[in-house]
Amino acid sequence: MSETLSSLVAPDTTGLNFFRADRSLADLLEIYLPAPLRRHIEPHLDRLGALAGDELDHCARLADRHVPILHHRDRFGRDEQWIEYHPAYRELERVAYGEFGIHAMSHRPGILGWPAPYPAVAKHAFTYLFNQAEFGLGCPINVTDGAAMLLSRFGDAALKAAYLDGLTQTDMTRLTQGAQFMTEKEGGSDVGRLTTVATPEGARWRLSGEKWFCSNADAEVVMLLARPEGAASGTRGLGLFLMPRRLEDGSPNRYRIVRLKDKLGTRSMASGEIVLEGALAYAVGRLDRGFVQMAEMVNWSRLSNGVKSTALMRRALHDALTVARGRMAFGRRIADLPLARRQLLKMMVPMEQALSLCFATADALDRAETGNDKDAAALVRMLTPVLKFRATRDARKVCGDALEMRGGAGYIEEFATPRLLRDAHLGSIWEGTGNIVALDALGRAVGRHGAEAALAAHLHARLDEAIPVPAAYRDRLRDAVDRAIGFARAVGTDPEREADARQATSALYHAASATLLAWEAWRIHEASGDARRLLLSRLVLDHRLTARDPLAPAAGTVDAQAAALLLDGRPVPMAAAAAIAAG
Ligand SMILES: Cc1cc2nc3c(=O)[nH]c(=O)nc-3n(C[C@H](O)[C@H](O)[C@H](O)COP(=O)(O)OP(=O)(O)OC[C@H]3O[C@@H](n4cnc5c(N)ncnc54)[C@H](O)[C@@H]3O)c2cc1C
């Protein structure tokens, strides 16, 4: 873009390498991944970052505009349902499944030349970069991954032999994508009301009923919940089934996609309504534990959703910074105008909070799975809904604010901002709405399992370690953690206080992220001399965990000092960050 034009129309992020432009990502990978693995994936992340900032983004724009079309017959007049996708969507699939194998990273050794399956931390670094360009396909990738996880955990040997290879293939001609059909008209949140019936037929089952929201509607391997004939009501009576799209002889299974949803966001991806007309299915795991087993896939997806919403926020922030640095108003760069700087900071803080929580949750998951670590398992149980609740919610606001930073052009579909905003609204609906996830965090994780104790212990240990962070500031954080945990415990153990569940979940999120940001500042400073995350921690503490007078001036000195350093982009020495944090 020429100089003259760039002062008229704000540039966008086209050509930006989303990996290279993200110092926080590189810093957190350094903390959380062993050096050999980090070094191995860096060139791949670099390539994905470049693709996401350019070709993939272009494909995402096209795929969003040219939505999938459901056909009920093939060209020979046979009653064969199929979904037509734009070639841009196919290209996105090829890159995600075929080139990077994101769906298979947790399951299959050898992806991108690494001899073992990847830890969740590494996998979600790819999820995060990919979703900065394309959020719609993020769902199919995740449910394919989740279906493989469920199958390998609970499927019998024959089922695994038949379906696991296809779910984890990177050869596009052999890949069989997954899906998860739970929601029915009667209940999305209230899953116990499902009415789909499973009737035994020898060792197999026949399914009858209707599924109301089926993303990746034409997936080949579907995981779903249904009630075996005569089983108890409620979630206890639900079984988990695997339903193939095609039978062994290649003919279609007995279910129909009735129509595709006309959605606000994720328009590139096909979500359908499906009628089951005696569809063949196989029971997965114990029939009386269907819901409990499916909950593992739900939690798997909730972490993924948190990461994907963080990706949307990062992309939105990239866009807002590009505009603010590239456009003039009233003779100054927008990025130099005090009120605009404050808005940029208000996007940056929730974005970085979410990134911290994504890494902490994925790391706890890795420790829980590989080390059989019970405390880590409790930490994942606590952090997953907390992350999903708040990051998906914040993404709506950050994406909306980034749209506004671009002014009128931000509202125009030629730019990414409307797509980001439309997509962002889905994060807090699927895999449990905000209310349902907050109730899970408080009622179940805290109230039933006492998982907040593991979070408290983890955060205290982090604060004890971070010696270079001023003691007085760490004491403030300790106090905030204890108050948030106490509040969550009071709400989670008292059914009369259900109405406070969202507030208490947010309190856990803010206390955890403020603490983790301070701890990361210490670790990153040791490695590369940058303590900027300590400033972010202080902003979270001030704005999210400290009582304020709504009539007092909001833009205090800490905010202005932090804004100057954070928006400048250069590393912040610990002494400077510590002076502001403790001030
Ligand atoms: C684009 C898209 C794709 C989707 N893809 C899939 C898919 O692939 N597979 C699948 O199974 N589902 C899918 N869903 C469905 C989604 O998971 C559900 O829509 C969601 O769980 C909410 O369920 P519901 O629509 O029945 O709303 P309801 O359960 O009727 O909820 C309505 C409102 O009531 C609130 N509410 C409900 N119970 C409580 C409570 N106890 N306390 C307080 N508030 C409450 C909810 O928070 C919500 O605001 C998809 C949805 C969308 C929009």
Q: Is the CB of 266 under 6 A from ligand 1?
A: yes
What integer pLDDT is reported at residue 3 of this predicted model?
44
Q: Is the CB of 62 under 6 A from ligand 1?
A: no
Backbone angles phi, psi at 131, to 5 degrees: -70, -10
Half-sphere exposure of 354 (CA within 13 A, CB side): 30
Q: What is the pTM of this model?
A: 0.97
Q: Tokens in use for 129?
A: 């970069």
Tell me the pLDDT of the chain (583 aa) as tens digits.
444 445 577 899 999 999 999 999 999 999 999 999 999 999 999 999 999 999 999 999 999 999 999 999 999 999 999 999 999 999 999 999 999 999 999 999 999 999 999 999 999 999 999 999 999 999 999 999 999 999 999 999 999 999 999 999 999 999 999 999 999 999 899 999 999 999 999 999 999 999 999 999 999 999 999 999 999 999 999 999 999 999 999 999 999 999 999 999 999 999 999 999 999 999 999 999 999 999 999 999 999 999 999 999 999 999 999 999 999 999 999 999 999 999 999 999 999 999 999 999 999 999 999 877 899 999 999 999 999 999 999 999 999 999 999 999 999 999 999 999 999 999 999 999 999 999 999 999 999 999 999 999 999 999 999 999 999 999 999 999 999 999 999 999 999 999 999 999 999 999 999 999 999 999 999 999 999 999 999 999 999 999 988 888 766 788 889 999 999 889 999 999 999 999 8
Residue type, 545: L
Q: Tokens in use for 26?
A: 């590189």
Closest C-alpha to 135, from 295, 263, 321, 324: 263
What integer pLDDT is reported at residue 479 of this predicted model?
98
Distance (angstroms) between ligand 1 centre and the Cα of 499 equals 18
Q: Is the CB of 189 under 6 A from ligand 1?
A: yes
What stretches of 327-451 show up as alpha helix (H) in DSSP?
A: 338-371, 374-405, 416-427, 434-439
Q: Is the CB of 147 under 6 A from ligand 1?
A: no
Q: Is the CB of 185 under 6 A from ligand 1?
A: no
Distance (angstroms) between ligand 1 centre and the Cα of 183 equals 7
What integer pLDDT is reported at residue 187 of this predicted model?
84
The C-alpha atoms of residue 308 and residue 456 are separated, in whole angstroms, by: 26
Distance (angstroms) between ligand 1 centre and the Cα of 495 equals 22
Q: Is 201 helix (H, G, I), strand (E, B) or coil?
A: strand
Q: Tokens in use for 378?
A: 């409790």
Q: Is the CB of 214 under 6 A from ligand 1?
A: yes
C-alpha angle 319-323-326 in degrees, rounded to nearest 5: 135
The C-alpha atoms of residue 94 and residue 88 are separated, in whole angstroms, by: 10
Q: Tokens in use for 144?
A: 């394919």
Q: What is the DSSP string of 88-109?
A: HHHHHHIIIIIIS-GGGTTT-T
What integer pLDDT is reported at residue 7 of this predicted model?
54
Q: In degrees to the nearest 10, what's the CA dihedral of 209, 188, 154, 107?
A: 120
Q: Is the CB of 430 under 6 A from ligand 1?
A: yes
What integer pLDDT is reported at residue 555 of this predicted model?
63
The C-alpha atoms of residue 23 and residue 419 are separated, in whole angstroms, by: 25
